[in-house]
Amino acid sequence: MLLLLRPLVRVRLSATTLTVVLLSTQQYIPSPAMSYCMTVGCSHPENLNSAEYCQGCGQFLLLQNRYLAIKPLSRGGFGRTFLAIDQQIPSHPHCVIKQFFVQYENPQDYQTAAKLFRQEAVRLDQLGKHPQIPQLLAHFEQNKQLFIIQEYIQGKTLFDELKQDGLFTEQKIWQVLKQILPILQFIHEQNIIHRDIKPANLMRRCSLPSSGENSLDTVVDLTQIPPTIPMRDQEQAQISAKLKSTIYPILSPENSDLQTSTDFNKNDIVLIDFGISKLLTGTALLHSGTIVGTPEFMAPEQMRGTVYPASDLYSLGLTCLYLITGISPGKLYDDHDEKWNWRSYLIPQQIISDRLETVLNKLIVIAINQRYKSAEEVLTAIQSSETPVNIAVKPVIPIKKTSAKVVQTPAKTPNLLERIKQNLGYQPLNDPLKSAVGVDYTQLQTLLAQKRWKQADQETWFVLCQALKKSKKTYLYAQDLANLPCEDLQTINHLWVKYSNSRFGFSIQNQIYQTVEGDYGKFCQQVGWLTYNPNNPDYGIEYKTSAPTGHLPTRNWIVSTGKWWKNLEILAEKLASCKIN
């Protein structure tokens, strides 16, 4: 271990302030176990940390006699990325090496890669010191290879966050939108389109640790430090974060002028990988260009080689859908009906408001002229929708007029209990609960009348087992349905159809099945079911009145034999023989 003790900050304060706090760190920097050769095609790129030359190809390992690659991070179509250390700075800070290369058969391929390289360098430099965009530290060519050195962002991508922490809540999606939209607004105003917005290119910064690397250990008097401490932008970025959490509670903001090049908050989301950003010019807007990006997050026009600021917004919308469903965006689109069907993939515990649904749906409209045009427009829509709905609608409710009528004709006014029943969709429980084998359907009737859809779905399984004289919670085979007494099937179906206002029930499902001519895949799309058997049987099921027509009851009680459609075929035959429609 290498132990360094060094001052981290020089703070310029107002003339009225004589003494302030200095942050100092004991920064523990582990020596890298390995170093990597950056030569394309090297047969043995891994080297010991003590090596100066590659044992595989003999090339000098330091780039520009300064940057040492220590860990591969990613690889793409036009290059690869390494975690590295800057050997020229005593603290050996981390940075990122982005190497552009193409295994080309003709010079044109290399020219394309070289153009992207120069483009990224220029764009990153143009973007300056935005706190949520990695800072460009250097760019150069060495041994006919192209390199960019960027600020290292400590954190994890939203793709990794999804894998580790699970599906995003609505609150987290709002956070993503409110953090990324201002970045897109900024780069679009610079005539830049990112063209590869996706969870893997959105990285959340980690907060500074309480000990170890970059920890805060001592507080000293600034007057004891020489007034001219050499500083680098990278150090200033670290200082800014430390000042926000440590000095601000001590110093009054009115009395301090903190000079830093980069100012960020912990947990900020950073937009990375500007390797395929494209300058917005008249030519770029009118002519097709090289198709680059990640296909499943790409806007339709981008697939044709043309991009607009709205193309980034489309990709951001698909990114949000991926984070709340965990499903590839391509599977969320219904080709048959030509519409997005992402709500049917939400798990029961997820609650997505109509407000968020409206924003997301407009982000992913296929037609560009119906999509949000700019990040600013989306932000405006979000802010305007934050006004509580009841404030807007309350003045237009004719309360006085209705109240007057109620007072004058009290005999016609329903009492409180009746009004509650009406609001809950209550209907009299006077159903004929017939059973050929003595099954009691009272509990199913009650649950359905109360719109307790999940419990009613469970009860349906139980009464089916009883009607077939099987043990409770026995999984049923499709052919078991052929033995179900018609009276019992009639009762179960009648209860579902009645209390869902003809939205749910076996006969409703059968009508849809006949409409799609027995195509099971289309049937699943229509009713909002997955076409496969998930590990969690409730995954993708919506136990609510707004679920797609035919969504309930579920098929959770059917034994999966890889032929889900058999269930529908036999059920259709049984309904026909029992004359239930």
Question: pTM (2 decimals)?
Answer: 0.51
Whether 233 is catalytic: no
Q: Assess whether 72 and 220 both reside in one domain.
A: yes
Report how far apart, in Å, the C-alpha atoms of 470 and of each of 357, 461, 492 are.
43, 11, 17
117 domain-assigned: yes
What is the domain-level CATH number for residue 27? Answer: 3.30.200.20
Q: Assess whether 186 and 213 both reside in one domain.
A: no
392 domain-assigned: no
Report how far apart, in Å, the C-alpha atoms of 512 and of each of 401, 494, 528, 542 are.
44, 17, 12, 18
* 186 CB-near residues (< 8 Å, 6+ apart): 127, 130
Q: For residue 577, which of 453, 504, 484 has the smallest C-alpha distance?
A: 484
* 325 CB-near residues (< 8 Å, 6+ apart): 167, 332, 342, 345, 346
Q: Assess whether 236 and 127 both reside in one domain.
A: yes
Rounded to whole angstroms, the Cα distance separating 341 from 333 reads 6
Q: Assess whether 105 and 254 both reside in one domain.
A: yes
Tens of each residue's pLDDT in the chain, 581 residues = 333 333 333 333 333 333 233 333 333 345 567 899 988 878 889 998 889 999 889 989 999 999 999 998 877 656 788 999 999 999 999 999 988 765 566 677 667 767 777 776 777 777 767 889 888 888 888 877 888 898 898 899 999 999 999 999 999 999 999 999 999 999 999 888 898 999 999 999 885 443 333 332 323 232 232 332 333 344 444 434 433 333 333 233 333 332 233 445 667 899 988 755 554 433 333 333 445 567 889 898 887 778 999 999 999 999 999 999 999 898 898 877 788 999 999 988 888 999 999 999 999 999 999 999 999 999 999 988 765 433 333 333 333 333 333 333 333 434 434 433 444 344 445 678 899 999 999 899 988 988 889 999 999 999 999 999 998 888 888 888 899 999 999 999 999 999 998 899 999 999 999 988 888 888 888 999 987 767 778 888 999 988 999 999 998 888 755 555 678 888 899 999 999 98
What is the domain-level CATH number for residue 314? Answer: 1.10.510.10
Q: Assess whether 143 and 167 both reside in one domain.
A: no
Q: Assess whether 94 and 187 both reside in one domain.
A: no
The residue among 356, 386, 416 that closes a domain is: 386
Q: Assess whether 230 and 193 both reside in one domain.
A: no
Altogether, the residues listed in the chain come to a count of 581
419 domain-assigned: no
Range of the domain at 216: 1-154+208-264
How many domains does the chain fold into?
3
271 domain-assigned: no
Q: Assess whether 228 and 341 both reside in one domain.
A: no
Q: Assess whether 53 and 147 both reside in one domain.
A: yes
Q: Assess whether 379 and 492 both reside in one domain.
A: no
Which residue out of 196, 273, 457, 488 is catalytically annotated? 196
Q: Assess whether 117 and 46 both reside in one domain.
A: yes
425 domain-assigned: no
395 domain-assigned: no
